[in-house]
Amino acid sequence: MQFVLTDWMPNNQIFCCSSFYMLVKCLLYLKVLYGYQEGLLLLLDVGPSMHGVLPQVEKLCSMLVQKKLIYGKNDEVGIVLFGTEDTRNELSTQLGGYENIVVLRDIKVVDGDLIENLTRIPRGTVAGDFLDAIVVGMDMLIKKYGETNKGKKRMCLITNALCPIKDSDAGTKEDQVGLIAMRMSALGMKMENIVVRGSLSGNANQRIMDENDLLLDLFSKKSSVKTIYVDSPTALLGAIKTRNISPVTIFRGDLEISPNMKIKVWVYKKTAEEKFPTLKKYSDKAPPTDKFATHEVKVDYEYKSVEDTSKVVPPEQRIKGYRYGPHVVPISSAEWEAVKFKPEKSVKLLGFTDASNILRHYYMKDVNVLIAEPGKPGAMIAVSALARAMKEMNKVAILRCVWRQGQQSVVVGVMTPNVSEKDNIPDSFFFNVLPFAEDVREFQFPSFSNFPVSWQPNEQQQEAADNLVKMLDLAPSGKGETLQPEFTPNPVLERFFHHLELKSKHPDAPVPPLDGTLKKITEPDLELLAENKSIVDAFRRQFELKENPKLKKSTRRLLREKPSGSDERNGDDNVSDALAINSIESKPVTKVEKIGDLTPIQDFEAMMSRRDSPDWVSKAIEDMKRKIFNLVENSNNGDDYSKAVELFVALRKGCILEQVSLSLSPGFPFATDNCAFVVNFSPSAKLGKLLCLDIQLSINFRKFFLVQEPKQFNEFLSRICKFCQEQNLGSFCDLLASKELSLVTKSEAIDSDVTDDEARSFFVKREPKYED
């Protein structure tokens, strides 16, 4: 390898002799001044060991260029390949050497051809020398820009750095790297080295790898060179910032520790979401022959009175109305200006607190970074001291910030230390916005310990979960972390740009499927799953999931209610008979839909007290009657009589209660037989109106009245007595009589026609007949 410094100023000579070139130079200078042009050179290793990852390299570089075509149309890009069979570069023709390096494209403004170049990168045949490539690239950048374009000259090296660097006559490799790095920083050149390693490097020579890594590391130390190691195709796709955004401060000023101590800081955004591009609306109205049609759509707003839509109000006649409950308060901007909250621009320390006081999920927004103002050694040391102290003590700082003068709000947030591991990068702070009291909704959730045992994991299950959490590891020690946000591309944007490129060739191209490399972001890694198959299977075995069968048939409305328990009631699950007898008074946990055999009384009472439909009462009574009848009829020598009597008691009570609970309702003080009467009865017309509105409720009552429970009971009692007589089961009637279970009387329930005397004589009347 040759290394010649003298040859590097050809432009200057030309510059001196021609005024035309001076003009060009001036234009170039202007461009630099306005800062919209970046000169980027891609140095791509295409040697045989790289072939496996070249498809990702192609995608990465295409993406980079595509974004430039949209966001940085004036940027200039060149491509240098190394590890090629051929040699085609200026340094080689001028000086010899620099073999196996091909300039695929000179540095020029981005265009569609560039993407063509990048989608079909020719594969090389020999091991590439990345140091040679860097020298060739530097030479090209210098020839193109000379001293200008400082900070905007960039090289991007993508290699696996597995191949040995050739020795040279001009000193050791380390010396050369030192020289190049020095020269690069002098010229304001930047470089990113993407080193493809890990599982992608195959069986490489460890010695060469270490030596190369050392050289690359030397670069990083000496100049603004960044070296990134990636170990998966996915991370490779995310290795370069494909969109160049120059950092802009959102605040420059004092970080006030106290009124007496202020540290000069600059604040930038550390994270900011790159949004999906906002596409313009397309108008197809222009005739196809119109070559200059913009196809754009303008949006026009008109303001019309809500009451009179024919009246158009000019924009300046509008006034802002702010909602306060049902009110809309009109406030002119001048008025508002006078009264609004106007904090002074400042960043003030409120104090320090334990890091554990600030839980991670309270971070509200994208993140800022606070960094000492360049050229202020005192501020740098102050930031460094505080950051290191905070890290050591595990503390964070709480700040109150007003970034801009005239900003109408303040933010309170947490400042955390960002201690740099590199000597040439200053320490700084991260800043995250915290919520205000108004921003937090303190919902209550049940404690897990309050959940039923069937929801708690047992020991084996917990162990299976432990294993899963331990082994499904995305950051195994010794290997690199996968899906690191820093190296994870946005699959949606990748797909959009891919589709955009396809459409530029075939306007009807369908949406491409998600790339396999990108699927690693949206789906679990199959390899990782395969490695841990036994653990995943064990986890699956330990836990059982089943669909809630009751939900299938239910409507959405039912989802809101407590799950119906009726299924279980009728099933094998024994509901304890020890349930409170008087279950009308205890809240039924489940909604009973029929009277079962196990707890007929409770079922009956639960049904009687249901108010979601008036039909339940009559159904309960019908069911109960049937049940009693069956018991009496099928009883063997009266052994079920006592049970039947119990049911009888419940039925009687239920029928009376039903009547009573209606009568007691306020607003229906003496409820009788229909709702029209209730309305007439109401003390004021207003109340009447209200009740009329409540049609649903009234209808319920109507239905209850029509059923007339006490009458039903009385009829049933007569029927069963008659039945007993006919079937010669008189002992049951005796039993009823002994329990004084006679007809329901008018004094018990207003709806009954039976007098007390009639009730008392009910069984007496029968007796003679019985004696007959």
Partner 1 sequence: MDLDPDDVFRDDEDDLENEFFQERESTKEFVVYLIDASPKMFSTTCPGEDQREETHFHIVVSCIAQSLKTQIINRSYDEVAICFFNTREKKNLQDSNGVFVYNVAEREDLDRPTARFIKEFDQMEESFQKVIGSQYGIVSGSRENSLYNALWVAQGLLRKGSAKTADKRILLFTNEDDPFGSIKGAVKSDMTRTTLQRAKDAQDLGISIELLPLSRPDEEFNISLFYADLIGVEGDDLALVLPSAGHKLEDMKDQLRKRLFTKRIVRRISFIISNGLSIELNTYALIRPTVPGTITWLDSVTNCPLKTERSLICADTGALMREPPKRFQPYKNENIKFSTQELSEIKRVSNGHLRLLGFKPLSCLKDYHNLRPSTFVFPSDKEVIGSTRIFIALLRSMLRLKRFAVAFYGNPTHPQLVALVAQDEIVTAGGQIEPPGMHMIYLPYCDDIRNVEEHHSDANAVPRATDDQVKKAIALMKRIDLKEFSVCQFANPSLQRHYAVLQALALEEDEIPEINDETAPDEEGMARPGVVNAIEEFKLSVYGDSYDEENAHAGNGKVSEASKKRKAVAENAVKESANYDWADLADNGKLKDMTVAEFKYYLTAHNLPVTGKKEALISRILTHMGK
Task: With contacts defined by CB under 8 A, name the span among 4-12, 169-177, 414-422, 711-719 that binds partner 1.
Answer: 414-422
Please state, in angstroms and as integers, the Cα–Cα distance from residue 505 to each residue in 105, 499, 508, following that order.
Answer: 22, 10, 9
Q: How far is the CB of 449 from partner 1 (least distance, A)?
A: 8
Enumerate residues 81-100 that contact partner 1 by CB under 8 A: none
Enumerate residues 699-758 that contact partner 1 by CB under 8 A: none
Q: How far is the CB of 157 from partner 1 (least distance, A)?
A: 16
Taking CB under 8 A as the rule, does residue 52 contact partner 1? no
* Cβ atoms within 10 Å of 288's Cβ, excluding its own: 7
Nearest Cα to Cα of residue 211 among 168, 176, 164, 167? 164
Of positions 412, 699, 706, 764, contacts partner 1 by CB under 8 A = 412
166 or 470: CB nearest partner 1: 470
Enumerate residues 299-358 that contact partner 1 by CB under 8 A: 299-307, 309, 313, 317-332, 336, 339-341, 343, 348-353, 357-358
- CA distance linking residue 558 with residue 560, whole number of Å: 5
Enumerate residues 10-49 that contact partner 1 by CB under 8 A: none
Enumerate residues 97-126 that contact partner 1 by CB under 8 A: 111-112
By DSSP bridging, strand 189-196 and strand 153-159 are: parallel
Q: How far is the CB of 663 from partner 1 (least distance, A)?
A: 10
Count of residues touching partner 1 (by CB under 8 A):
238
- CA distance linking residue 496 with residue 276, whole number of Å: 9
- CA distance linking residue 257 with residue 400, whole number of Å: 11
202 or 314: CB nearest partner 1: 314
Provide the CA 72 distance to its chain's centre, in angstroms: 31
- CA distance linking residue 430 with residue 418, whole number of Å: 6
Enumerate residues 511-570 that contact partner 1 by CB under 8 A: 511, 514, 518, 521-525, 528-529, 536, 539-540, 543-548, 551, 556-557, 559-560, 562-563
89 or 432: CB nearest partner 1: 432
Q: In sequence order, what are the residues at sequence separation of 6 or more whose Cβ sits closer than 8 angstroms to the Cβ of residue 216?
A: 161, 193, 195, 227
| Per-residue binder mask for partner 1 (CB under 8 A), 418-457, x = binder | x-x-xxxxxxx-x-x-xxxxxxxxxxxxxxx-xxx-xxxx
| Per-residue binder mask for partner 1 (CB under 8 A), 243-282, x = binder | x-x-x------x-xxxxxxx-x---xxxxxxx-xx-xxxx
672 or 682: CB nearest partner 1: 682
| Token pair of 237 as six digits | 């796709």
Do residues 28 and 104 make contact, with C-beta atoms less than 8 angstroms apart? no
Please state, in angstroms and as integers, the Cα–Cα distance from residue 338 to each residue in 124, 329, 333, 335, 342, following that order.
Answer: 71, 16, 9, 5, 9
20 or 324: CB nearest partner 1: 324
- CA distance linking residue 42 with residue 54, whole number of Å: 13
96 or 457: CB nearest partner 1: 457
Provide the CA 173 distance to its chain's centre, in angstroms: 50
Q: How far is the CB of 561 from partner 1 (least distance, A)?
A: 9
Q: How far is the CB of 651 from partner 1 (least distance, A)?
A: 17
36 or 336: CB nearest partner 1: 336
Nearest Cα to Cα of residue 433 among 388, 404, 403? 403
11 or 467: CB nearest partner 1: 467
- CA distance linking residue 131 with residue 180, whole number of Å: 9
Q: How far is the CB of 594 from partner 1 (least distance, A)?
A: 18
441 or 553: CB nearest partner 1: 441
- CA distance linking residue 678 with residue 687, whole number of Å: 10
127 or 697: CB nearest partner 1: 697
Taking CB under 8 A as the rule, does residue 490 contact partner 1? yes
Of positions 85, 147, 175, 296, contacts partner 1 by CB under 8 A = 296
Q: How far is the CB of 474 from partner 1 (least distance, A)?
A: 4
Tokens 């045949």 -> residue = 125
Q: How far is the CB of 230 from partner 1 (least distance, A)?
A: 11
DSSP states along 156-217 = EEEE---SPPPP-SSS-HHHHHHHHHHHHHHHTEEEEEEEE-GGGS-S--HHHHHHHHHHHH
- CA distance linking residue 647 with residue 653, whole number of Å: 10
Q: How far is the CB of 407 from partner 1 (least distance, A)?
A: 9
Handedness of CA 386, 387, 392, 395 (dihedral sign): positive
* Cβ atoms within 10 Å of 625's Cβ, excluding its own: 19
The SS3 of residue 316 is helix
Q: How far is the CB of 556 from partner 1 (least distance, A)?
A: 5
- CA distance linking residue 52 with residue 56, whole number of Å: 9
Nearest Cα to Cα of residue 256 among 371, 400, 391, 429? 400
Taking CB under 8 A as the rule, does residue 72 contact partner 1? no
273 or 772: CB nearest partner 1: 273
| Per-residue binder mask for partner 1 (CB under 8 A), 458-487, x = binder | ---xx-xxx-xxx-xxxx-----xxxxxxx
Enumerate residues 575-614 that contact partner 1 by CB under 8 A: 584-587, 589, 609-612
Taking CB under 8 A as the rule, does residue 238 contact partner 1? yes
Environment class of residue 187 by beta-carbon count within 10 Å: exposed (0-12), middle (13-18) or buried (19+)? buried
Taking CB under 8 A as the rule, does residue 690 contact partner 1? yes
The SS3 of residue 604 is helix
Enumerate residues 133-192 that contact partner 1 by CB under 8 A: 185
| Per-residue binder mask for partner 1 (CB under 8 A), 619-658, x = binder | ----------------------------------------
Taking CB under 8 A as the rule, does residue 289 contact partner 1? no
Task: With contacts defined by CB under 8 A, name the span among 124-132, 204-212, 498-506, 671-679 that binds partner 1.
Answer: 498-506
Q: How far is the CB of 767 from partner 1 (least distance, A)?
A: 32
Q: How far is the CB of 112 from partner 1 (least distance, A)?
A: 4
202 or 325: CB nearest partner 1: 325
* Cβ atoms within 10 Å of 580's Cβ, excluding its own: 10
362 or 770: CB nearest partner 1: 362
13 or 522: CB nearest partner 1: 522
Taking CB under 8 A as the rule, does residue 222 contact partner 1? yes
Of positions 218, 382, 624, 720, contacts partner 1 by CB under 8 A = 382
Nearest Cα to Cα of residue 484 among 157, 191, 192, 236? 236
| Token pair of 713 as six digits | 């009971």
181 or 736: CB nearest partner 1: 181
474 or 676: CB nearest partner 1: 474
573 or 753: CB nearest partner 1: 573
- CA distance linking residue 5 with residue 142, whole number of Å: 12
Do residues 192 and 226 make contact, with C-beta atoms less than 8 angstroms apart? yes
Of positions 169, 284, 572, 726, contacts partner 1 by CB under 8 A = 284
Of positions 495, 643, 711, 760, contacts partner 1 by CB under 8 A = 495
Distance linking the first and last C-alpha atoms of the chain: 135
404 or 441: CB nearest partner 1: 441
By DSSP bridging, strand 411-418 and strand 395-402 are: antiparallel
Q: How far is the CB of 207 from partner 1 (least distance, A)?
A: 30
Give the DSSP letter of residue 80: E
Phi, psi of 474 (to 5 degrees): -95, -5
